[in-house]
Structure 1
Amino acid sequence: MTYRYGPEVDEDGVRFRLWAPGADAVDLLIGDRALPMTDRGGGHFELAVVGAGPGLAYRFSIDGGTVPDPATRRQKGDVEGASVVTVPPAARVSKPARPWHEAVIVEVHVGAATPEGTFAALAGRLDHYAALGVTALELLPVADFPGARNWGYDGVLPFAPDESYGTPDDLRRLIDAAHERGLQLYLDVVYNHFGPVGNYLPSYAGAFFTDEFSTPWGSAIDFEREEVRAFFVENAAYWIEEYGFDGLRFDAVHAFEGPGRRLFLDDLARRLRAIDPQPHLILENDHNEASLLGGGSAFDAQWNDDFHHVFHVALTGEHEGYYRAYADDTAKRTARVLAEGFAYQGEPTPNRDGAPRGEPSGHLHPRSFVSFLQNHDQVGNRAFGERLAELAAPERLDLACFALLLSPQIPMLFMGEEFATRRRFPYFCDFEEEFGQLVREGRRKEFSGFSTFSGDDIPDPLSPSTFESAKLDWSETWTSEGQTALARVKALIGLRKTHIVPLLAGAFRGADASAEGGVVECEWRFDGGKLVMALNLSETEGPTGVGRSDPVAAIGRVEPGRLGPWSGALWRS
Structure 2
Amino acid sequence: MNERQFGARLTTDGACFRLWAPAAKRVDLLLDRPHAMQRGEDGWFSADIAGVKAGARYNFRIDDEIDVPDPASAFQPDDIKGPSELIDHGAYRWRAADWRGRPWQDTVLLESHVGTFTPDGTYRAMIERLDHLVATGITALELMPLADFAGSRNWGYDGVLWYAPDGHYGRPDDLKALIDGAHLRGLMVFLDVVYNHFGPEGNYHGRYAPGFFTEAQTPWGSAIDYQVPQVRAFAIDNAVYWLHEYRFDGLRLDAVHAIPQLGEVSMLHDLSRAVGDLAVETGRHIHLVLENDDNIAGVLDAEQDPHRGSYRAQWNDDYHHAWHVLLTGERHGYYSDYAQSPLQDIARALASGFVYQGEPSAHRGGQLRGEPSGTLTPTAFVNFLQNHDQIGNRALGDRLESIAKPMAIEGALAILLLAPMVPMLFMGEEWGSKAPFPFFCDFEGELAEAVRQGRRREFAGAYAEHGADVPDPLESSTAQSAVLDWDSRDSASGCRRLALVRELLTIRREKIMPRLAGAAFGAAHATENGMLTANWRMGDGVMLRLAANLSNDEIPAPEIKPMGIPIWGGEIAGPLPPWSVFWRLDARS
Same fold (TM over 0.5): yes
Distance of 2:431 and 2:353 partners within structure 1 = 27
Q: Does 1:126 align with 2:130?
A: yes
Give the equivalent residue in structure 1 for 2:384.
Answer: 372
Q: Residue by residue, what CA displacement relative to the aligned partner does 1:510-533 show, whole Å, maximum 9, x if unpaired? A: 311111111111111124111111
Q: Of 472, 477, 483, which residue of structure 2 is paired with 1:471?
A: 483
Give the equivalent residue in structure 1 for 2:272.
Answer: 269
Equivalent AA in structure 1 for residue 121 of structure 2: G
**Structure 2 matches for 1:12-161, cutoff 5 A?**
12-31=13-32, 33-63=33-63, 64-88=65-89, 89=91, 91-92=93-94, 93-94=96-97, 95-161=99-165
- The question of whether the paired residues in 1 share the 8 Å contact of 2:378 and 2:520 is answered with no
- The question of whether the paired residues in 1 share the 8 Å contact of 2:345 and 2:355 is answered with yes
Q: Residue by residue, what CA displacement relative to the aligned partner does 1:245-269 show, whole Å, maximum 9, x if unpaired? A: 0000000100001414952011101
Equivalent AA in structure 2 for residue 172 of structure 1: K
* TM-score normalised by L of structure 2: 0.94
Distance of 2:35 and 2:404 partners within structure 1 = 62
Give the equivalent residue in structure 2 for 1:460.
Answer: 472
- The question of whether the paired residues in 1 share the 8 Å contact of 2:547 and 2:582 is answered with yes
Corresponding residue SS for 1:274? helix
- Note closer, same or farther for the CA distance 1:331–1:230 as it changes in structure 2 (3 Å cut): same
Q: Residue by residue, what CA displacement relative to the aligned partner does 1:99-124 show, whole Å, maximum 9, x if unpaired? A: 10011110010000000000000111
Distance of 1:180 and 1:452 partners within structure 2 = 48
CA shift for structure 1 position 537: 1.5
- Note closer, same or farther for the CA distance 1:550–1:526 as it changes in structure 2 (3 Å cut): closer
Q: Does 1:243 align with 2:250?
A: no
Distance of 1:315 and 1:75 partners within structure 2 = 44
- The question of whether the paired residues in 1 share the 8 Å contact of 2:107 and 2:139 is answered with yes
- The question of whether the paired residues in 1 share the 8 Å contact of 2:199 and 2:221 is answered with no
Distance of 1:541 and 1:35 partners within structure 2 = 78
Distance of 1:261 and 1:496 partners within structure 2 = 42
Distance of 1:195 and 1:16 partners within structure 2 = 24
Distance of 2:544 and 2:400 partners within structure 1 = 27
Equivalent AA in structure 1 for residue 27 of structure 2: V
Distance of 1:49 and 1:123 partners within structure 2 = 38
Give the equivalent residue in structure 2 for 1:487.
Answer: 499
- The question of whether the paired residues in 2 share the 8 Å contact of 1:548 and 1:560 is answered with no
- Note closer, same or farther for the CA distance 1:226–1:153 as it changes in structure 2 (3 Å cut): same
Distance of 2:54 and 2:569 partners within structure 1 = 57
Q: Of 507, 513, 538, which residue of structure 1 is paired with 2:524?
A: 513
Task: Judge which range, 516-525 or 157-166, deviates more.
Answer: 516-525
Give the equivalent residue in structure 1 for 2:397.
Answer: 385
- The question of whether the paired residues in 1 share the 8 Å contact of 2:334 and 2:363 is answered with yes
Give the equivalent residue in structure 2 for 1:425.
Answer: 437
Corresponding residue SS for 1:160? strand
CA shift for structure 1 position 96: 4.8
Task: Judge which range, 216-225 or 487-496, deviates more.
Answer: 216-225
CA shift for structure 1 position 542: 2.5
Task: Judge which range, 81-90 or 535-544, deviates more.
Answer: 535-544
Give the equivalent residue in structure 1 for 2:197.
Answer: 193
- The question of whether the paired residues in 1 share the 8 Å contact of 2:77 and 2:84 is answered with yes
Corresponding residue SS for 1:431? coil
Corresponding residue SS for 1:188? strand
- The question of whether the paired residues in 1 share the 8 Å contact of 2:74 and 2:87 is answered with yes
Q: Does 1:554 align with 2:561?
A: no
Distance of 1:509 and 1:421 partners within structure 2 = 34
- The question of whether the paired residues in 2 share the 8 Å contact of 1:335 and 1:515 is answered with yes
Distance of 2:256 and 2:265 partners within structure 1 = 10
Give the equivalent residue in structure 2 for 1:220.
Answer: 223
Give the equivalent residue in structure 1 for 2:348.
Answer: 336
Distance of 1:191 and 1:21 partners within structure 2 = 21
Equivalent AA in structure 2 for residue 377 of structure 1: D
- The question of whether the paired residues in 2 share the 8 Å contact of 1:96 and 1:182 is answered with no
Distance of 1:542 and 1:262 partners within structure 2 = 53
CA shift for structure 1 position 451: 5.0
CA shift for structure 1 position 298: 2.4
Distance of 1:261 and 1:309 partners within structure 2 = 34
Equivalent AA in structure 2 for residue 150 of structure 1: N
CA shift for structure 1 position 217: 2.1
Gaps of 5+ in 2: none
Q: Does 1:351 align with 2:363?
A: yes
Corresponding residue SS for 1:514? strand
CA shift for structure 1 position 549: 5.5
Equivalent AA in structure 2 for residue 91 of structure 1: R
Corresponding residue SS for 2:70? coil
- The question of whether the paired residues in 1 share the 8 Å contact of 2:200 and 2:221 is answered with no
Equivalent AA in structure 1 for residue 44 of structure 2: H
- The question of whether the paired residues in 2 share the 8 Å contact of 1:136 and 1:184 is answered with yes
Corresponding residue SS for 1:540? coil
CA shift for structure 1 position 91: 2.9
Distance of 1:548 and 1:144 partners within structure 2 = 54
Moved over 4 A (4+): none
- Note closer, same or farther for the CA distance 1:55–1:253 as it changes in structure 2 (3 Å cut): same
Give the equivalent residue in structure 2 for 1:234.
Answer: 237
Gaps of 5+ in 1: none
Equivalent AA in structure 2 for residue 292 of structure 1: V
Distance of 1:361 and 1:83 partners within structure 2 = 45
- Note closer, same or farther for the CA distance 1:100–1:527 as it changes in structure 2 (3 Å cut): closer
Q: Residue by residue, what CA displacement relative to the aligned partner does 1:398-444 show, whole Å, maximum 9, x if unpaired? A: 00110110111000000000110111111000000321111111111
CA shift for structure 1 position 509: 3.9
Corresponding residue SS for 1:11? coil
Corresponding residue SS for 1:552? strand
Distance of 2:311 and 2:427 partners within structure 1 = 25
**Structure 2 matches for 1:269-418, cutoff 5 A?**
269-275=272-278, 276=282, 277-294=284-301, 296=304, 298-418=310-430
Equivalent AA in structure 1 for residue 183 of structure 2: H
- Note closer, same or farther for the CA distance 1:504–1:22 as it changes in structure 2 (3 Å cut): same
- Note closer, same or farther for the CA distance 1:269–1:312 as it changes in structure 2 (3 Å cut): same
Task: Judge which range, 458-467 or 445-454, deviates more.
Answer: 445-454
CA shift for structure 1 position 316: 0.5
Q: Residue by residue, what CA displacement relative to the aligned partner does 1:333-372 show, whole Å, maximum 9, x if unpaired? A: 1100111110000000111111111000011101000010
- The question of whether the paired residues in 1 share the 8 Å contact of 2:69 and 2:82 is answered with yes
- The question of whether the paired residues in 1 share the 8 Å contact of 2:8 and 2:86 is answered with yes
Task: Judge which range, 44-53 or 519-528, deviates more.
Answer: 519-528
- The question of whether the paired residues in 1 share the 8 Å contact of 2:109 and 2:425 is answered with yes
- Note closer, same or farther for the CA distance 1:467–1:451 as it changes in structure 2 (3 Å cut): closer
Corresponding residue SS for 1:69? coil
Corresponding residue SS for 1:122? helix
